[in-house]
Amino acid sequence: MKVAIYCRLSDEDRDKTSATDDSASIQNQKSMLITYAINKGWEIYSIYSDDDYSGADRNRPEFNRLLQDAHTRKFNIVLCKSQSRFTRELELVEKYIHTLFPMLGIRFVSLVDSADTDDRGNKKSRQIKALVNEWFLEELSDNIREVLTSRRQQGYHIGSFAPYGYKKDPNERGHLIIDPEAASVVREIFTLFLDGKGKQLIARTLNERGIPNPTEYKRRHGQVRNKNKSESGLWSYFSISNILTNEVYIGNMVQGKTGVVSYKNQDKIVYPEEQWIVVKGTHEPIIDHTTWGKVQALIEKKATGSAPRTEGIFARKLRCLNCGYRLHSVKSGDKRGFKCDRHSLSHDSCIGAYISLNKLQRIVLAHIKHLSGELLDEDYLEQGIEPFPDLSQMKAEMEEEKTALKQKIGSKPCMMKELYIQKLRGTITESEYVEQMQRLNTDHNEAEARITEITTNILEINRTLNLTSDKKALIAQYTGCTSLTKEMVDTLIDFIEVGKKDPVSKMTPVIIHWNF
């Protein structure tokens, strides 16, 4: 039997020598579980360890690696210290411990609370424990939210990192003090804007001087541990705009702009301005109120005096094929188009990308029409899109084979009884009896393995059939459209990559990534 050992700890531990070290508690869990596995005579396939992750976090890297290995049946047993180490959510207990693992022939065992899926008698107790853990998570989430809201209302800064231009006060938790180096850049941004420089020009000026943007500045000072490799460290139009409109620079604390749906759903919610928590005069300002007032008046004047900077139906959908940076909208006379933001900010960073709005609309609309023709053509669908000529027929054949195998397994006791009677009567010898019993057991095991394989294949076929059906239903509602709408783009398209026009063929590369 091969066993997968899973360990988890949620709290930050003080007994680590570095951020990459396992905590003492994780080490203790490993030692306990390894000893138990050895005593049982189980072979340890792998140890999966998530340190500093909540039991409600579904994005735990080692947890998800374990689930991937489970799907390929790389082990027979999952061993944990307790069921709550694996998950605190009732939904995941039912989904994995009570559904997926049994289907894959994997046993779940936890030591402290004696959970064992081989013991049918303790299923109810496992479900009760999962329910108690669910209540614990909900109550803990509510308590944390109340505490954080209270501290925000008192004017304390809540966040892993201080806003750019400030740093955390080492002598008072939740208080901000000025960071002289970054604060000088903030003051320069306000000065340049009042001197008539646009946000894009200010960003380019800072980039040409090699001044790191706020994220890169934090990384260089050891404040960002897992910086996204795709981030360039360049200033942008939006980073300048955020600084010019952030009240933190006049000494006010503005928090509670965003939240999440719940502890189980981490989708972000953007709250309306009237729900923000604003406390004035909580820390030393970097910008005086006179300068602030002039800048806000100038921003409002520019906003009302010109067309808003917006990408319309393609908002936040366009990326540069060469560097992955966002494309922003540009206008030259009556012509509108999209240009690589990174190339605009620093020409040395990217060869650039550009496409006109009209051309992009024609290309996307043509792709949608072509796709709808393919998906709604039944003959083409059967021959070109589905991985098999007739998935439904294959599914029916598998169901029939599965039924026959179950009948074969069900007949095993009668066959064993018949062999034993034949041995007693002397119809077969002892060695023939042993040989046929071994063959019967082998056939039984092979039948069970085949049933598991068929079950997995049927699930995959159902997924493929449902996916194809979903595609058809999704695209069918837009068949015959002669123009694009934002609803169409948001529904059908994840993002679009645009490259630089080829000087010879005059073609602009466009790659559309669909939502299905």
How far is Cα 493 from Cα 296, in angstroms, rounded to an integer? 36
CB-based contacts of 269, cutoff 8 Å, min separation 6:
258, 259, 260, 261
When mean pLDDT is compared over 3-7, 341-345, 426-430, the highest value belongs to 3-7
Band of the pLDDT at 351, cuts 50, 70, 90? confident
The tally of CA atoms less than 13 A away on the side-chain side of residue 59 is: 4
Kindly report, residue by residue over 236-248, the tens digit of the pLDDT: 888 899 999 999 9
Q: Could you tell me whether strands 77-80 and 107-110 are parallel, antiparallel, or unpaired per DSSP bridges?
A: parallel
Residues in the chain, how many? Answer: 516
Instruction: Provide the whole-model pTM.
Output: 0.45
Determine the 3-state secondary structure of 237 from DSSP: helix
293 or 491, which is more confident = 293
Distance CA 449, CA 252 (A): 65
For residue 453, report the phi and psi dihedrals to the nearest 5 degrees: -65, -45
Q: Quick check: 292 pLDDT over 90?
A: yes
Task: Give the DSSP H/E element, type plus range, for residue 316.
Answer: none
- Note the pLDDT of residue 305: 53
pLDDT, greater one: 333 or 472: 333
User: Which residue, among 497, 475, 507, 506, has the nearest Cα to 488 in the 3D structure?
Assistant: 475
Residue range 331-351: mean pLDDT, rounded: 75
Domains 2-150 and 166-306 agree in fold? no
- Give pLDDT tens digits for 469-513: 555 666 666 666 777 888 788 878 889 999 988 888 888 999 988
Residue type, position 32, single letter: M
Mean pLDDT, rounded, for 132-151: 70
Alpha-carbon distance 61 to 78, whole Å? 16
Strand 493-498 versus strand 354-356 pairing type: unpaired
If one compares 261 and 220, the residue with the highest pLDDT of the two is: 220
Q: Which fold has domain 166-306?
A: Hect, E3 ligase catalytic domain fold (3.90.1750)
Higher pLDDT, 155 or 184: 184
What amino acid occupies position 263?
A: Y
State pLDDT tens for residues 207-221. 989 999 998 898 888
Torsion of CA 297, 303, 305, 308, to 10 degrees: 170
Domains of the chain by residue range: 2-150, 166-306, 310-376+480-516, 378-476
How many other CB atoms sit within 10 Å of the CB of residue 26? 20
φ, ψ at 320 (rounded to 5°): -75, 130
pLDDT digits (tens, 9 = 90+) for 422-439: 888 888 888 888 888 888
**Are the C-beta atoms of residues 164 and 217 closer than 8 Å to each other?**
yes
**Average pLDDT in the chain:** 80
Percent of residues, the chain, with pLDDT higher than 70: 78
Q: Classify residue 212 by its DSSP letter.
A: P
Long-range contacts of range 15-24, CB-CB < 8 Å, 24 or more positions apart?
19/225, 22/49, 22/51, 23/51
Of 237, 240, 227, nearest to 164 by C-alpha is 240
* pLDDT over threshold 60, residue 374: no
Q: What is the pLDDT of residue 384?
A: 43
- Band (pLDDT 50/70/90 cuts) for residue 308 is very low
Residue 81's nearest CA partner among 3, 122, 29 is: 29
Of the candidates 157, 162, 158, which has an alpha carbon nearest to the alpha carbon of residue 175?
A: 157
Q: How far apart are CA 199 and CA 98, in angstroms?
A: 56
Q: What is the pLDDT of residue 423?
A: 84
Half-sphere exposure of 80 (CA within 13 A, CB side): 26
> Which pLDDT does position 498 carry in this prediction?
92
27 token code pair: 């080490």
Of residues 318 and 477, more confidently modeled: 318
Say what the pLDDT of residue 225 is.
55
How far, in Å, CA of 5 to CA of 270, rounded? 40
The answer to whether 139 and 246 have CB atoms below 8 angstroms apart is: no
pLDDT-based confidence at residue 389 (cuts at 50, 70, 90): very low
Query: Which region among 51-55, 98-102, 134-138 has the lowest average model confidence (pLDDT)?
Result: 134-138
Q: What are phi and psi of 170, to 5 degrees?
A: -70, -15
The reply to whether CATH 3.40.50.1390 applies to domain 2-150 is yes
Confidence at residue 222, expressed as pLDDT on a 0 to 100 scale: 78
Give dist(CA 477, CA 486) in Å, integer.
14
The pLDDT value given to residue 152: 84
* Helix spans in 256-355 (H): 289-305, 341-345
Reported as a single tens digit per residue, the pLDDT across 61-118 is 999 999 999 999 999 999 998 888 888 787 788 888 888 888 888 999 998 888 888 8
The pLDDT assigned to 184 comes to 95
Annotate 4-43 with three-state secondary structure: EEEEEECCCCCCCCCCCCCCHHHHHHHHHHHHHHHHHCCE
Do the beta carbons of residue 249 and residue 184 sit within 8 Å? no
Distance CA 491, CA 255 (A): 32
Residue with tokens 């069921």: 83
